[in-house]
Chain A
Amino acid sequence: METVLRALFIYLVLLLVFRLAGRRTLMQMTSFDFVLLLIISETTQNAILGNDYSITTGILAIVTLVGTDILLSYWKHRSAKVERWLDGLPLIIVQNGIPLKPLMDRARVNEEDVLAAARQGPGLERMEQIKYAVLEVGGGISVIPK
């Protein structure tokens, strides 16, 4: 019982913390972000398993985590409202070559990030060549050229 409760609790705490951190946190996958994620996973492991090294506990934890994930994805699929609160919504940050500054500031994205995405994606050179730049739910920026 304890393992299931531990796994469930940690799942919900992680969901909450990562949602509160915002999509631009830990989503850019610099090598430091990667190391940070590894440390978090290590910390989480102890909290879920405790001092129990048995296979049973491991399986129980895995099943609980995956099961909760399936349940939530099913719930998100059924309800758009749940999905928008758990995953967030995409956000347009550049429109017709004009960066929407107040939105970008709140989302912690700067023009350099948008230009980098414009170069990597459609290979654009300047801001005015961008029709739309969208900050996606996953934290990435997608760019649509004019």
Chain B
Amino acid sequence: MSSIPPIAGLEITQDLAVQYRTWKIQRMGWAAMALIILAALAGLFGSGPLARTAVVDDQQLVRLEYNRFGRYQDESLLKLELTPKATQTHRVTVKVDRNYWTSHAIEQIAPEPMTSSAGFDGFLYTFEVDSQNAPAAIIVRLRPEYLGSLDGHIRVNDQGSLTFEQFIFP
């Protein structure tokens, strides 16, 4: 801005070069904020189309619906959909690895398991199944007590096992 004559009489620290750089950085900051909002809408920070996903175990016994991204101490939902293949007997066992389970506060398991026991490598739950050879669902509500990425392992009826990964934002 050379068209502006030098400031006479006014004792002021004006630096147009710095001012223009500030404006440029501000514009970039606005773009970054817009990107953050769009990413959040898409579900990058939990809850959104990008976040919700599902995985099926190798024996096709169970389909797990979970959130790829979550937030610290925010509610996280695991939905286990048992296939008719898993409910052939009236009891279904679900084993969760210890590291995953102890990194969460377990709020609720629905339906309540008949029995639960602690093994050296994980927690074992037994659920009663009303109608055999029919699909059933188990819902777990938990709160992550860790930050970053963590693997979870679930084993159904000691046969079908699956692994899933979650990333928890602070």
The answer to whether B115 has its CB under 8 Å from any CB of chain A is: no
Within the complex, the shortest CB–CB distance from B160 to chain A, in Å, comes to: 37
Q: How many residues of A contact B (CB 8 A)?
A: 24
Please tell me the number of chain B residues within 8 Å of chain A, measured between CB atoms.
21
Per-residue contact bits, chain A 83-106, to B (CB 8 Å; 1 contact, 0 not): 011001111100100001011001
B13 touches A89 (CB 8 A): yes
Residues of B close to A85: CB separation below 8 A: 22
Cα separation A22 to B30 with both chains bound (whole Å): 10
Contacting pair A20 B29 (CB below 8 A): yes
Q: Look across to chain A and name the residue whose beta carbon is closest to the beta carbon of B15.
A: A89
When the two chains form their complex, are residues A92 and B73 in contact, meaning their CB atoms are under 8 A apart?
Answer: no
Q: Which B residues have a C-beta under 8 Å from some C-beta of A?
A: 1, 4-5, 7, 10, 12-16, 18-20, 22-23, 25-26, 29-30, 33, 73
Contact A95 B4 (CB under 8 A): yes
Any B CB within 8 A of the CB of A124? no
State the A residues within 8 Å of B (CB). 16-17, 19-22, 50-51, 84-85, 88-92, 95, 100, 102-103, 106-107, 132, 134, 144
Residues of B within 8 A of A102 (CB): 1
**Choice from A22, A90, A95 contacting B26 with Cβ under 8 Å:** A22
Q: Is the interface of A mostly helix, strand, loop or mixed?
A: mixed
Give the nearest-CB partner of B24 in chain A.
Answer: A106
Would A92 and B15 count as touching, CB distance under 8 A?
no
Query: Measured between alpha carbons, how far is A50 from B5 in the docked complex, in Å?
Result: 54
Residue numbers in A under 8 Å from B18 (CB-CB)? 84, 89
Given A50-B73, A92-B10, check contact A84 B15 (CB 8 Å).
yes
Query: Whole-angstrom distance between the alpha carbons of A85 and B25 in the complex?
Result: 11
For A103, list chain B residues within 8 Å (CB): 1, 16, 19
**Bound Cα distance from A117 to B15, whole angstroms:** 23
A137 nearest in chain B by CB position: B13
Which one of A19, A50, A90 lies within 8 Å of B12 (CB-CB)? A90
- Asked if A91 and B19 sit within 8 Å, CB to CB, the answer is yes
Q: Which residues of B contact A19 (CB under 8 A)?
A: 26, 29
| B15 contacts across to A, CB distance below 8 A | 84, 89
Q: A20-B33, A95-B5 are in contact. Are A144 and B10 (CB under 8 A)?
A: yes
- Determine whether the beta carbon of B14 is less than 8 Å from that of A90: yes
Contact A90 B13 (CB under 8 A): yes
Besides the known contacts A89-B19, A134-B12, 16 further A-B residue pairs in the complex with CB atoms under 8 A apart:
A17-B33, A19-B26, A20-B30, A50-B73, A51-B73, A84-B13, A88-B22, A89-B15, A89-B18, A90-B12, A90-B13, A91-B14, A91-B19, A92-B7, A95-B4, A132-B10
